[in-house]
Structure 1
Amino acid sequence: MKRKLVSVLVGISMVAALLTGCGSANGTTKTEDKGKDGYRVAYIARAQSDSFAAWLANEMMAAAEEYDDITLDVFDGQADDEKENAAIENAITSKYDAIIVQPNNGEAQRPYVEKIVAAGIVAITTNARIDGIEGASSVDADPYAQAAVNAQAALEQVPQNAKVVVLNGPSGNFHADERRKAWQAEFFDKRPDVEIVGEQIANWNKDEAVQYMEDWIISNNQIDAIISMNDNMAAGALEVVAGKEEFKDILSYGVDGTAEAMLLIEAGTMTSTCLQSAIDLAKLNLETVHKLLTGEEKQIDTDIDAPLINKENVADYVKMYKDRGLIQK
């Protein structure tokens, strides 16, 4: 297991290195230059420290290589609203043909995406979409459905009178808020016997989740389940209880379907996740931006699927990651 996990983290680190400026002096990663007659597209990534965001940035670059008339530049928002907004403004000033934004905080980025539209540049928001911006398109997943498939499974899996902890994404983030709503409606409202003994915003971040989980196991001698709005936070919480006999049967739920989560499910450590495929998101983003740039479509709002992954089907997804070189064969 340790050997395989190292290969996953190395893959993420390679993406992180790219996003911090390997390949150009201005802190971007570029696909191969497709020539003066092609389209220039800027992708503003949320953060390199988020394993899913790093995976998506890598897949966006791979997907762009399939288009002879698109050059993609990737910028790192560093999980900082000011830095992400500055990157958007710089892309507008640089007169890109299209700008795809992965928001750190949708409401903080909303006025800047509105500036993209006002400048006459093709605008797409992705992972998570920002609703209600006239003239902007979106490529996303349904975050309510992503959490609901886990919550519905947990109805039968979580024991009676269980004590659970909850790890949330950033407040105001569409995916974070909708996933928490799903857990409330699909699980907590139907299981009033379950007690939440700890709940915090960990901002999709593993290290923050570790800190909260360390506090929770000190103040609670019983925690039956970790309910997390993404895999990265769930993995952090699981690191804290690893090898502790009193938590050997703890359940854990996430969203994203990262390579690390696949290995945790395969090992029997994590219970389930919902795949938010960066591969599918990237392909759909490039397909969408190409249709908008060529005038084939004027407005596109579309979602990828939300399949549940557990011990019964995890082998298929481990193979997917092995085939893409993100898990060592």
Structure 2
Amino acid sequence: MRNLSRTYLTIGLATAALAVTACSGGGDDGSSEGDGESYRVAYIARAQVDSFAAWLANEMQSEADTYDDITLDVFDGQANDEIENTQIENAIANNYDAIIVQANNGEAQRPYIQQSVDADIVTITTNPRVDDIEGASSVDASPYDQGAGVAELAVEEIPENARVVVLNGPGGNFHSTERRNAWEEVFFAERPDVEIVAEDIANWNKDEALTLMEDWVLANGEIDAIISMNDNMAAGALEAVRGDSAYDDILAYGVDGTPEATLLIEDGLMTATTLQDASELAELNMSTVHDLLTGAEDEVNVDIGNPVITQDNVQEYIDLYTEAGLIDG
């Protein structure tokens, strides 16, 4: 397998570990209501080792800068429920005006999100949405539709009697569960000839997926396709077979549409992904939290779109990422 044709930049995705990063407002676009009031917003990010979560955290910071009445503090949950729950509690204790939570495990964070609502703090769940919390708002995408988009392609593309492996996100995570449900209903129900030779949780993590794939190759030999619930894990699995000519034609499907994934698709190493646009999510989160804080809205629940990226349209997204500085042109 060839190396990526261009460099995928982390755009400071590790921009210090984001243990706490303050983004003071100061944008010149006139987003403020002009009443002189300033709002403190805490964003509890899932984990900076997850490339999509790191991308989203950076986009949230950038978008917060366009509001001169919002200061955003970003906290790294480190993919750890206990850490994330403590951060939510601390944000409540520190009297933030709003708390935006990117849950690691929605059910584990649910009681703490409820505490935020009960404290009369503007509360938003995002990527994933945590449903059925009265008084909380949400900004998300449809994970089922994201999975279905690539699964529909796979029905036609994965060869007859194929042997596939499946990589899942964290147990209990809404996005992982719903993407996997979509694959089950859209692909596996239509393709009973396909055999799953291995399936496991890799927690959205590239290194965990690489290790699993190395083991699966040794245990199973022939593998025709990688079905992954996000791009990061798909990239790790592909790395495990890099340079092995026996896997030159392996198919690989992901979700997120990360800059790295677009380069893998361009090079013919990855087959398809569904875009989950961190920039669009950040814009909607910031406009939503601003509307809620200023009283323009009482509750908001909104989704972004889910375009599928393949070799046919990948250049469009590479151009966008290059212009945004996410890919080194």
Q: Give TM-score scaled by structure 2 length.
A: 0.95
Q: 8 Å contact 2:123–2:137 — kept in the other structure?
A: yes
User: What's the CA shift for 1:17?
Assistant: 3.2
- Corresponding residue of 2:14: 16
Within 5 Å, which residues of 2 pair with 1:148-167?
A: 148-167=148-167
Q: Partners of 2:111 and 2:203 in 1: how far apart?
A: 22
User: What's the CA shift for 1:171?
Assistant: 1.1
Within 5 Å, which residues of 2 pair with 1:84-103?
A: 84-103=84-103
Q: Partners of 1:33 and 1:191 in 2: how far apart?
A: 51
- Corresponding residue of 2:29: none
* Aligned-partner residue type, residue 278 of structure 2: A
Q: Partners of 1:74 and 1:257 in 2: how far apart?
A: 23
Gaps of 5+ in 2: 27-31
Q: 1:202 to 1:153 in 2, by over 3 A?
A: same
What are the Cα deviations for residues 207-246 of structure 1, in whole angstroms up to 9, with x where unaligned? 1101110011001121000000000000000001111111
User: What's the CA shift for 1:18?
Assistant: 3.0
User: What's the CA shift for 1:33?
Assistant: 5.1
Higher share in helix: 1
* Aligned-partner residue type, residue 9 of structure 2: V
Is 1:31 the equivalent of 2:23?
A: yes
Q: Partners of 1:141 and 1:180 in 2: how far apart?
A: 15
User: What's the CA shift for 1:32?
Assistant: 2.1
Within 5 Å, which residues of 2 pair with 1:1-329?
A: 6-9=7-10, 11=11, 14-20=12-18, 27-32=19-24, 37-329=37-329
Q: Partners of 1:136 and 1:216 in 2: how far apart?
A: 42
The alignment partner of 1:31 has SS state of: strand
* Aligned-partner residue type, residue 23 of structure 2: T
Q: 1:323 to 1:295 in 2, by over 3 A?
A: same
* Aligned-partner residue type, residue 120 of structure 2: G
Q: Partners of 1:213 and 1:272 in 2: how far apart?
A: 19
Gaps of 5+ in 1: 21-26
What are the Cα deviations for residues 291-313 of structure 1, in whole angstroms up to 9, with x where unaligned? 10111111100000000000000
- Corresponding residue of 1:23: none
* Aligned-partner residue type, residue 124 of structure 1: I
Q: Partners of 1:5 and 1:211 in 2: how far apart?
A: 25
CA RMSD of aligned residues (A): 1.4
Q: Partners of 1:292 and 1:37 in 2: how far apart?
A: 14
What is the number of residues matched between the two proteins?
A: 320
Q: Partners of 1:132 and 1:156 in 2: how far apart?
A: 37
User: What's the CA shift for 1:19?
Assistant: 3.6
- Corresponding residue of 1:24: none
Q: 8 Å contact 2:25–2:69 — kept in the other structure?
A: no
